[in-house]
C-alpha cells in the first residue's frame, strides 16, 4: 500500500498571456477551478497508475471540501481517513498559467495546516500497513517529521518531495529513503548551482543523511537516478507538445512510486513515469489530465 500524507487544495487556474513580473499587472484570459494540492495530486497519480493508495490530509466543511473528496474517490484514492474541519476553509492554490505553458503558484494553506502531529499519530495503524509513504511540504514540518518517525518505526520507505522548498527543515532529511527534487530544490538542498552539482555532491548528501537514493527531475531533459554508492543513471523524457505543465512533477512521482511498489526495476519504473507525465502535460488541468495505467501502457507498447 502507498500512503500519501500531504496537501489537498482547490486549484484556481488563471490563464494569462505571460507570467507577471514584479510590480506588473496582467489581465486574466480565463479562470477555472479544479482539485489539486501536491499531496492529492501525487495520490491521484499513484492511484490512476494502478496503486493501492490511502491518503491522510484535511479539507474544510465546505463545498470545496466536498468536491475535493469526491475527486479523490473517483480516481481511486481511499479517503476514509481524511480529516474534515469547520475551523478553516479548504485550502486553495492560485495558479497563473502562461501561453507558453509555464506557471507560478501561490497557496493559501488553511485546512492543510490542520494536519497536525496528533492527527498523524491517531492513524498509526496505516503506517503498519504501508510499503511507501509519500510526503511534501504543504503541511506543517512537525507533521511531516511525525510521519517520518512512524515510517522509521514500521520500516516504511519514505519518499519526500521538499516542495515548497522555502519551508525546508534539515531534520526532515533524516529518515528519507528516496528524495525527489527538481533542479531548484536540488540547488537549495545541496547549496550548489544546478548546472554545477555533481554525482559526488549527491553522494555526499546521501551519506550525510543516510538517504538511499535521489531522483532529480529535469523537465524536457528527462530525469536522473542517484543511488548511494552506484553510478548515476539518466532517463530520457518523452517528446510531446506540452500545453500545461501544472502537475507534471506530481504525475511523474506518483507513477514512479506505484511502479516501485510493484517491484518494477528502475528502467521500467522511470519509463512508465516519463510516459505518464508526458501524457499529462498535453492536456489541460491536473488530476483529470493524469493518464490511467492502461493509457500509459498503450503508449509504451
Spatial CB neighbours of 237, under 8 Å, sequence gap ≥ 6: 218, 219, 220, 221, 222, 223, 274, 277, 278
Cell 537516478 sits on residue: 225
Strands 132-135 and 223-227: unpaired
Contact 44, 287 (CB under 8 A): yes
What's the sign of the alpha-carbon dihedral 3, 188, 168, 148? positive
3-state helix, strand, coil in the chain (%, to 5): 40, 20, 40
The alpha carbon torsion through 257, 262, 265, 266 (nearest 10 deg) reads -10
Spatial CB neighbours of 220, under 8 Å, sequence gap ≥ 6: 237
In the residue annotation, 131 being an active-site residue is answered as: no
Strands 132-135 and 2-5: parallel
| Coil vs helix vs strand at 60 | strand
User: Which one of the listed residues 66, 210, 250, 294 is annotated catalytic?
Assistant: 250
- The residues pairing with 91 across neighbouring beta strands, listed in sequence order, are 9
Dist CA 144 CA 3 (whole Å): 13
No. of helices (H) and no. of strands (E), the chain: 10, 14
Cell 514500521 sits on residue: 154
Would you name the residues annotated as active-site residues?
250
Amino acid at each position: 500500500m502507498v500512503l500519501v500524507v500531504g496537501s489537498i487544495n482547490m486549484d484556481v487556474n488563471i490563464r494569462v498571456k505571460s507570467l507577471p513580473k514584479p510590480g506588473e499587472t496582467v489581465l486574466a484570459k480565463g479562470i477555472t477551478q479544479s482539485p489539486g494540492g501536491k499531496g492529492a495530486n501525487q495520490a491521484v497519480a499513484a492511484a490512476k497508475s494502478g496503486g493501492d493508495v490511502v491518503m491522510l490530509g484535511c479539507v474544510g466543511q465546505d463545498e470545496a471540501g466536498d468536491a475535493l473528496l469526491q475527486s479523490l474517490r473517483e480516481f481511486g484514492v481511499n479517503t476514509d481517513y481524511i480529516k474534515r474541519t469547520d475551523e478553516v476553509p479548504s485550502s486553495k492554490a492560485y495558479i497563473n498559467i502562461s501561453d507558453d505553458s509555464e506557471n507560478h503558484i501561490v497557496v493559501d494553506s488553511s485546512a492543510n495546516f490542520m494536519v497536525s502531529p496528533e492527527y498523524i499519530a491517531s492513524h498509526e495503524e496505516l503506517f503498519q500497513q504501508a510499503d511507501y509513504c509519500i510526503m511534501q511540504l504543504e503541511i506543517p514540518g512537525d507533521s511531516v517529521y511525525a510521519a517520518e518517525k512512524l515510517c522509521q518505526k514500521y520500516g516504511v520507505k519514505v519518499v519526500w518531495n521538499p516542495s515548497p522548498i522555502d519551508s525546508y527543515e534539515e531534520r526532515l532529511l533524516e529518515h528519507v529513503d528516496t528524495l525527489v527534487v527538481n533542479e531548484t530544490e536540488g540547488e537549495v538542498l545541496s547549496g550548489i548551482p544546478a548546472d554545477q552539482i555533481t554525482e559526488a555532491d549527491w553522494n555526499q548528501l546521501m551519506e550525510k543523511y543516510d538517504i538511499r537514493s535521489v531522483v532529480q527531475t529535469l523537465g524536457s531533459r528527462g530525469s536522473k537516478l542517484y543511488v548511494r554508492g552506484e553510478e548515476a543513471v539518466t532517463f530520457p523524457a518523452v517528446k510531446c507538445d506540452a500545453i500545461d505543465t501544472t502537475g507534471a512533477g506530481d504525475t511523474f512521482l506518483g507513477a514512479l512510486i506505484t511502479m516501485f511498489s510493484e517491484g518494477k526495476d528502475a528502467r521500467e519504473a522511470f519509463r512508465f513515469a516519463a510516459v505518464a507525465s508526458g501524457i499529462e502535460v498535453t492536456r489541460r488541468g491536473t488530476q483529470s489530465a493524469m493518464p490511467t495505467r492502461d493509457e500509459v501502457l498503450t503508449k509504451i507498447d
